[in-house]
Structure 1
Amino acid sequence: MARVLVIDDDRLVCDTFGHVIGRMGHEVDCALTLDQGIKSAEAGDYAVALLDVYMPDGDGLEGLTALRKLPTPPEVIIITGYGDPDGAELAIRNGAWDYIEKASSHKKVMLSLSRAIRYHEDKLKKENAVALKTEGIIGVSSAMTGCFDELAKAAVTEANVLITGQTGTGKELFARAIHQNSNRQKNRFVVVDCAALPENLTESVLFGHEKGAFTGAIKDRTGLVLQAHTGTLFLDEVGELPLNLQKAFLRVLETRRFLPLGGQRELFSDFRLVAATNRDLDQMVAQKEFREDLLFRLRSLNLYIPPLKDHPADIRELTSYYLALICDKAQMACKGFSHDFMAMLMAYPWPGNVRELIHALETACAAAGVDSILLPWHLPTNIRVQAARDSVKGDFEEQEANLQPVRELKALPDWRDYRNQMESNYLRDLMALSDWDANQAAEASGMSRSHLYQLLKKHGIGKKI
């Protein structure tokens, strides 16, 4: 028996689903608001949550994100009275188990619910049975917890995995962790740096060659694909793989067979493929720079690693972990750090991600020398410059705002020029409206005719013939 939570503001819907689920032998609780549903999920141990999209106190799809962040999240089935393809896509991309219209048959709902419960129970058994090996991967934030969940899923399958994320986020560490937690962990983990493959020897490096295959081939060479036999082949920066080689590698993925350069017989390699890239492969496909069929093959499973700026809560733990490693490698006592040192690390945007953080800590340790506590001035110059700019940015913008009216005032014309221009405009309008009748113009303006003539002469205004 499993526990199921129904979150829907319609009491009739709750009662209907409650009756159906109860007949399946499961325990059912209902929540009539999104807030109540999330609180119930936090307090309870539910295998599945049926979640309505349109709730009186919020969007169910936003509630889906909150439910997925729970320590032991339930599988979420979105239920809606208004089917929406875009909403269905958004729900699945955000981790929903299924997306079902309320008008669907009870049989369809029961089938989806049964599968979700079975999946949830199997997942818990695996999580309880095996502790992931995550050497070098540090993080306790919800963003990293999601990455660990995807890592666990990838480790227990033989499916190809594509790891995406910015440079320096730790894509190779995750690739190694997938290997170390898989059934192939005792065999080789072979790295192919696609960005560093020599242009004229790419096929030789990957597939190997036989003696005499080309000038300089003085002996047989085993390619990296064969070296990964029974192990894991990691294609790092796969977006850099040349187009001509993408076609050849697609066939290798489909058959696990390849022909070494100069060879007469195809060889077989039983490898698990993990690939990584910091590029947008979908955009590359649209620009004809990457094969769509190869992308489909690579992305059986997708693991996205967020940039460090998106999970700053992990910076302290990362700092402690890597400081210990750096100090141990340098055979020095482990250093501590001041509050303002950590504050500067937390405020920095880390465009180079974890890799940049490690380099910054190495620099700080070297600069500190025998000092036992790391201080802000031990950090690299670019980080301190960024902190200095940020510290005065607010004051500078305020000063700029205060100076703006002064600049606008200086832009105004001299009062005498302004007055003369206004006077000239007035006289032109006055004469035009009076049809150049001096008596009428003088009476309307309240000035004498002699004064009027004097002003017209001053501004050079005369009737155009």
Structure 2
Amino acid sequence: MSEILIIDDDQAICDLLTERLSRLGHEASCATDLAGGLSAAQKGSYEVIFLDVCLPDGNGLMALPSLRNAQSCPEVIIMTGQGDPDGAELAIKSGAWDYLEKGNSLSDIPLILNRVLQYRREKASTRPMVALKRPGIVGNSPKMLKCYDLLAQASASEMNVLIQGETGTGKELFARAIHENSSRSQEPFVVLDCAALPETLVESILFGHDRGAFTGADRTQAGLIKQADQGTLFLDEVGELPLNVQKSFLRVLQERSFRPVGNQKEVKSDFRLVAATNRRLQDMSEDASFRKDLLYRLQSLVIPLPSLRERKDDIKEIAVMHIARLCERYSIKTKGFSHSFVDLLQTYSWPGNVRELINALEHSIIAAGDSPTLFERHLPEAMRISLVRASLATHLPAPQNQEDLPNEKDGHLPRLAELINSETAKLEKWYLAELMNRTQGDLKQALTISGLGRTALYDRLKKYGISRQGS
């Protein structure tokens, strides 16, 4: 018997499904809105959730990731009264097992349910007990746990892997982890940075060359593809690979053989391919800047790495590890950090992801000097300015409603210039008062944040009667 949750505002559907599931020997519970469904999923141990899309308090598709991340990690089957191709795509990308139209598919539910439950039983019985080697990869947020599952799948197979993610998310770390956990771990791990390939030497770097093949080729040189024989070839930023080389490399993937420059004989290389990109290769393939046939070969298994702002719960753990490493590098005692320091790290948007975080931590350690504790004051100035600007922006007064706009006595609107001057003065006065309060009268910081010159700031403070201690 399995526990199953039904989230649907149609009581007739709830009753019908409950009856059918009961006849199959399962225990069903119902929730008629999204809030109730989310609450039930967090408290229960459901194996499967049937989820409606249009619910009174929200769209079921938007809640799909939260439901999948419940403690029991249930499989979710979407049910909708009216199918939508875009909705179906979003559902599958968000981890749904299937996307069904109610009218046509209710009779198929027993078969689908049996498949889901069989899948879960087999997955539980074959789950590997050996811990993955993942040096340098930190975090246990739900999105990272999904990446580890994919990492385990990639490591246990020989299929081509495409790692997607923004710059600084750790794509090379994942590629190395795939290699270290694979049967090829004792063989070479060869890195090719496609963004740094000199156009005139691309084929030589990839395929190698014979002595005398071109001017300056004074000796025979094995290319990176041959160097990766029996090991792993990692193509970093594969989206930068020139089109003419994409065609040649596609043949290498198909045949596992190639000709070095200046040589007429085929050379074999048994390598495992892992590629990474921060670009949307699917879009590039549509506008013919990346070969579709090569993309199909690369993405046998795709690992999408989340940005740091999508897994802020991991930031403290990442910071602890890298602070210890950096202090060891500089031969100093490991520093602690204040609560406010961590709060700011978790508030910042991290456009540069983990790489930017490491640089910020290194800056903070140097700025702290002999201090045993890192405070927000030690963070890079540009980062602190960005955080203060963002904080001030969230407190800007809301625009006035139309009925609140000032009118002249005859009922007509005032001149636009008069209105703009009046409202600008109010906003300027509020901003300066808030600026002085936030900076606690620190003139240098106030000048940096506001972008005003010293004289201009003084004149405005005097104009509105605002002291440097705030008002």
Give the aligned partner of residue 102 of structure 1: 102
Paired residue type of 1:28: E
For structure 1, which segment, 321-330 or 26-35, has the greater mean C-alpha deviation from structure 2 after superposition? 26-35
Q: 1:354 Cα shift?
A: 0.8
For 1:160-195, what per-residue CA distance to the aligned partner results, in whole angstroms no more than 9, with x for missing partners? 222122111111112222222333333322211111
Residue in 1 that maps onto 2:352: 352
Alignment of 1:42-441 (within 5 A): 42-104=42-104, 108-127=108-127, 129-390=129-390, 397=396, 408-409=417-418
Distance 1:9 1:197, change over 3 A: same
CA distance in structure 2 between the partners assigned to 1:5 and 1:327 by the alignment: 50
Residues 9-18 or 83-92, more deviating = 9-18
- Amino acid in the other structure paired with 1:409: E
SS across alignment from 2:211? coil
Deviations 1:56-80 (A, max 9, x none): 4443323322211223411212223
Q: State whether residues 20 and 106 of structure 1, in contact with CA within 8 Å, keep that contact through their aligned partners in structure 2.
A: no
Inter-partner Cα distance in structure 2 for 1:78 and 1:202: 48
Structure 1 residue runs of 4 or more that deviate by more than 6 Å after TM superposition: 404-407
Residues in 2 aligned to 1:373 and 1:159: alpha-carbon distance in whole angstroms: 47
**Residue 144 of structure 1: how far off its partner (Å):** 2.6
Aligned residues: 408
TM-superposed deviation, 1:276 = 0.9
Shift of 1:142: 2.9
- Cα distance in 2 for partners of 1:27, 1:38 equals 20
1:234, CA displacement in angstroms? 1.0
Distance 2:230 2:298 in 1: 18
Q: Normalization by structure 2: what TM-score?
A: 0.77
CA 1:6/1:391 → structure 2, altered by over 3 Å: closer, same or farther?
closer
Tell me, in whole angstroms, the C-alpha distance in 2 between the residues paired with 1:200 and 1:72: 55
Distance apart, 1:225 and its partner CA: 1.4
Q: Is the 8 A contact 1:3 1:27 kept in 2?
A: yes
Aligned residue type for 2:26 = E
* Kept after mapping to 1: 8 A contact 2:206/2:225: yes
Q: Look up the match of 1:27.
A: 26
Would the aligned equivalents of 2:45 and 2:71 in 1 still touch at CA under 8 Å?
no
How much has 1:371 moved relative to structure 2?
Answer: 1.8
Q: Which residue matches 1:453? A: none
Larger Rg: 1
Gap change, CA 1:357 and 1:269, over 3 Å in 2: same
Distance 1:229 1:50, change over 3 A: farther
Distance in 2 of aligned mates of 1:109 and 1:123? 21
SS in 1 for 2:345: helix
Query: Is 1:5 the equivalent of 2:10?
Result: no
Structure 1 residue 308, shift from structure 2 partner = 1.8
Quote the offset at 1:92 in angstroms. Answer: 0.9
Deviations, residues 171-229 of structure 1 (Å, cap 9, x unaligned): 11122222223333333222111111222221121122223322222332222112222
Provide, for residues 226-270 of structure 1, a one-character-per-residue CA deviation record: whole Å limited to 9, x for no partner: 222232211101111111101111111222222222223222222
The residue identity in structure 2 corresponding to 1:296 is Y
1:265 is paired with a residue whose SS is: coil
- CA separation of 1:119/1:388 partners in 2, compared to 1, >3 Å: closer, same or farther? same
| TM-score (norm. length: structure 1) | 0.78
RMSD of aligned residue pairs (Cα, Å): 3.1
Deviation readout 1:315-370 (Å, 9 max, x if unpaired):
22211110011112222210011233223323332221110111111122122222
In 2, distance between residues paired with 1:93 and 1:360?
A: 33
Q: Could you tell me how far 1:406 is from its partner in structure 2?
A: 12
Distance 1:206 1:81, change over 3 A: same
Q: 1:270 to 1:118 in 2, by over 3 A?
A: farther
CA–CA distance in structure 1, aligned partners of residues 398 and 3 of structure 2: 60
In 2: Cα distance, 1:59 partner to 1:85 partner: 16
SS of the equivalent of 1:200 reads helix
Tell me, in whole angstroms, the C-alpha distance in 2 between the residues paired with 1:6 and 1:188.
51
Paired amino acid for 2:345: L
Distance (whole Å) between structure 2 residues aligned to residue 212 and residue 193 of structure 1:
26
Kept in 2: contact 1:9–1:31 (CA 8 A): no
Q: Is the 1:231–1:272 contact (alpha carbons within 8 Å) kept by the matching residues of 2?
A: yes
Distance 2:13 2:418 in 1: 66
Match of 2:213, SS? coil
Contact 1:10 1:32 in 2 (8 A): no
2:245, 2:49 → 1: CA distance? Answer: 46
Q: CA deviation at 1:104?
A: 4.0
Call closer, same or farther: CA 1:118–1:210 in 2, change over 3 Å: farther
Distance in 1 between the 2:312 and 2:341 partners? 15
Equivalent-residue separation in structure 2 for 1:157 and 1:406 (angstroms):
72
Distance 1:28 1:321, change over 3 A: same
Q: CA 1:20/1:188 → structure 2, altered by over 3 Å: closer, same or farther?
A: farther
Distance 2:44 2:264 in 1: 64
